[in-house]
Amino acid sequence: MTLIVHHLNNSRSQRILWMLEELGLPYEIKRYQRDAKTMLAPPELKRVHPLGKSPILEDTAAGQTLVETGAIIDYLVEYADGKLGPPAHRDDVLRYRQFLHYAEGSVMPPLLLLLVLNRIPLLGASAAKRVQPMIDVHLDYVESELAKRPWFAGDALTGADIMMSFPLEAAKSRAGLDASRPATIAWLDKIHARPAYQAALEKGGPYAYA
Minimal CA–CA distance to 19: which of 62, 61, 71? 71
Residue 89 and residue 92: Cα distance in Å, rounded? 5
Report if pTM > 0.75: yes
The low-confidence residues of the chain, meaning pLDDT below 50, are none
Q: What is residue 41's DSSP assignment?
A: P
CATH architecture group of domain 3-84+196-204: 3-Layer(aba) Sandwich (3.40)
DSSP state at residue 88: S
Domain spans, the chain: 3-84+196-204, 90-194
Length of the chain: 210
User: What sign does the dihedral 113-117-118-120 (CA atoms) show?
Assistant: positive
Compute the distance between CA of residue 145 and CA of residue 150 in angstroms, rounded to an integer. 9
Q: What is the pLDDT of residue 1?
A: 61
Largest distance between two CA atoms of the chain: 52
CATH class of 90-194: mainly alpha
Within 46-158, residue ranges assigned H as helices are 69-79, 90-102, 108-117, 123-146
Alpha carbon 22 to chain centroid, angstroms: 14
